[in-house]
A and B are shown apart, each in its own frame.
Chain A
Amino acid sequence: MNADNDVRRYPGFGVFSAIFFAYLYLPIAVVVFYSFNANRIVSNWGGFSLHWYTTALSNANLLTAVKTSLLVATVATVASTLVALMAALVLVRGRNVRFRRISETVVNLPLLLPEIVVAVAVLILFSEAGLANGLVKLMIAHTTFCIPFAFLSIRARLQGMDLDLEEAARDLYATGWVAFRRVTLPLILPGVFAGAMLAFVISMDDFITSNLLNSGGATTLPVYIFSLIKQGVSPQLNAISTLIMLASIALATVAFLLQRQR
């Protein structure tokens, strides 16, 4: 009776949401479920087995792709987070910053363009510049499109921070650098970590750019998975997918908790 009278409540929205969440997670559950299928044909259940996980983990091509992805993602994460942090500090906290709006748009540019356009842009750039090293190409490209993700995360944290705190530090005879290191940085660190993780996941997950640049022997994990999908659905693919999902869920959880930290 009580709930019925809450004028903010709309009947049916709860059921609708429940169905929605089922829709959101069912496809993921299907992949996980079939990854334990002993049968070689995915949709015919042949009993529970961890067989495909052992084959996946001993798949040399897969491991090479993972290594490539990790290397590219690590470099792109560090580079994009540092660059984004510097830009965010100026754009949120700087005084008398000229062209602030345009500047922010430029930093966020990769978000305003469809990724395929970004991919084509870097592809043409590297071909004109004569850059041949696949790994370096990927690192540069990934840094570019990871910057806005790190930037937005750090900016959100900076905007939520009380400006008085840094001024209080300055009032207590701290120099600009000390105030930054002892007050600002510790306070925005969760945002910086969250941004870095987001950048890492975005890089690990990237398909469009990596696929277009795919040459010079640098095959990333999503590109490798794509090639497997092209060969057809297989239980091993399900096992690999499940492992990837586990890793990304773990990362997402940490990032989520970091962002909520006050």
Chain B
Amino acid sequence: MKPSARKPNWNVLGLLPAHLIMVLTLIIPIGIIIVVSFSTRGPYGGFEYVFTTAPYKQLLFNEGWTGELEFNPQYLIVVARTLVLSAVTTSICLLLSFPVAYFIALRRPTIKVLLIYLVTLPFWVSMIVRVYSWIIILGKDGVIEKTLRGVGLVDNMGSLLFGNTAMLVGLVYSYIPLMILPIFASIEKLDPALIEASHDLYGNRLITLRRVILPLTRPGMIAGAILVFVPSLGAVLEPTLLGGGKTMMMGNLIQLQFGGARNWPLGAAIAIVLMAAVMIFLVFQGLRSMRIEGLERAS
């Protein structure tokens, strides 16, 4: 008998707890979510294991008195809004982050460390407090309104809160550090000689930016886009606090179904749609970054 056969397998033992937790608390429950999304709504909330496609139908249609289906875009609008707002948030974060990340990457080591610390710091500060701060700024009698009134620009403009713009402001503010860090990392990795080579070969700053710097820092931008887009899709706090009750995103719509509205099957169906959106995006980006990696490593 081989003595090694009786030795504990540390690889398996080490990974066991983490995998057990993930399987029990996430993978199996996600399976249950799928089941719930095809189940019947219980009389007092919750659900009953009776198969139906009603929750998905409900996403698109209203059921009339006589049982006929009538198209109702209200949930579709929420889905569309979520996708658009997340995409716009990601784009704005990209645009704002690049110059900042580039500027930081060029600093001396000590200043660089300090600036990176300053970028990460807000992320550690309570998310709810950061979103709340925008209520003080954008709200009725808020900082912006008072300032504008102070210089005599407006008389009474009311609240800037509760709309797509307010949500957008909150989303960008919440997630932008996640965009700066990977872009910064990829700019820092960029060989300065490549920039010099571009200038040496008669490229001015704009040409160098477009043809050398941006293409070579794309992996950082893709990583940043993933880090911003995914949590934006599932955002709950920003739409709840800044969007008001009416302009919803998928995140707080799901929350509502499992909380106040007590329509678990519908909530589960929306959660499935959300998860599908995330997965499609991740697979798409994963293929893209694999292609880039492949090009870089093909030797």
Question: Which of B28, B128, B137, B241 lies in contact with A30, CB distance below 8 A?
Answer: B137
Q: Determine whether the beta carbon of A125 is less than 8 Å from that of B25.
A: yes
Q: Determine whether the beta carbon of A90 is less than 8 Å from that of B15.
A: yes
Interface residue count for A (Cβ, 8 Å)?
A: 85
Q: Determine whether the beta carbon of B121 is less than 8 Å from that of A112.
A: no
Whole-angstrom CA separation of A120 from B25 in the bound complex: 10
Whole-angstrom CA separation of A94 from B134 in the bound complex: 47
Of the candidates B134, B192, B196, B258, the one having the most CB atoms from chain A within 10 angstroms of its own CB is: B258
Chain B positions within 8 Å of A43 at CB level: 136, 141-143, 146
Interface-side segment among B50-58, B267-275, B287-295: B267-275
Q: Determine whether the beta carbon of A212 is less than 8 Å from that of B255.
A: yes
Interface size class of B (residues with CB under 8 A): 35 or more
Chain A positions within 8 Å of B259 at CB level: 212
Question: Which of A7, A143, A252 lies in contact with B124, CB distance below 8 A?
Answer: A252
Question: Which of A84, A114, A201, A226 lies in contact with B274, CB distance below 8 A?
Answer: A114
Chain A positions within 8 Å of B119 at CB level: 24
Please provide the chain A residues from 66 to 97 with a CB less than 8 Å away from any CB of chain B in the complex.
Answer: 82-84, 86-87, 89-91, 94, 96-97
Question: Which of A83, A238, A256 lies in contact with B117, CB distance below 8 A?
Answer: A256
Interface-side segment among B29-37, B60-68, B70-78, B216-224: B29-37
Known contacts A8-B192, A10-B102, A116-B254: does B26 contact A144 (CB below 8 Å)?
yes
A-B contact count (CB 8 A): 246
Whole-angstrom CA separation of A205 from B127 in the bound complex: 7
Chain B positions within 8 Å of A115 at CB level: 231, 234, 236
B75 to chain A, nearest CB (A): 15
Chain B positions within 8 Å of A97 at CB level: 11
Q: Determine whether the beta carbon of B231 is less than 8 Å from that of A212.
A: no
A258 to chain B, nearest CB (A): 12
Q: Determine whether the beta carbon of A90 is less than 8 Å from that of B29.
A: no
Q: Is B199 an interface residue (CB 8 A)?
A: yes
Whole-angstrom CA separation of A43 from B149 in the bound complex: 13
Question: Which of A16, A118, A233, A260 lies in contact with B26, CB distance below 8 A?
Answer: A118
Whole-angstrom CA separation of A253 from B241 in the bound complex: 28
B145, closest chain A residue (CB): A43
Known contacts A83-B21, A115-B231: does B11 contact A94 (CB below 8 Å)?
yes
Interface-side segment among A56-64, A163-171, A243-251: A243-251
Q: Which 5 pairs between the two chains have the least Cβ-Cβ distance?
A: A114-B234, A252-B124, A121-B29, A90-B14, A27-B133
A interface with B by C-beta (< 8 Å): 7-10, 12-14, 16-17, 20-21, 23-25, 27-28, 30-31, 34, 41-43, 82-84, 86-87, 89-91, 94, 96-98, 103, 106-107, 109-110, 112-118, 120-125, 127-128, 140-141, 143-144, 147, 151, 201, 204-205, 207-208, 211-212, 222, 225-226, 229, 233, 237-238, 241, 244-245, 248-249, 251-253, 255-256, 260
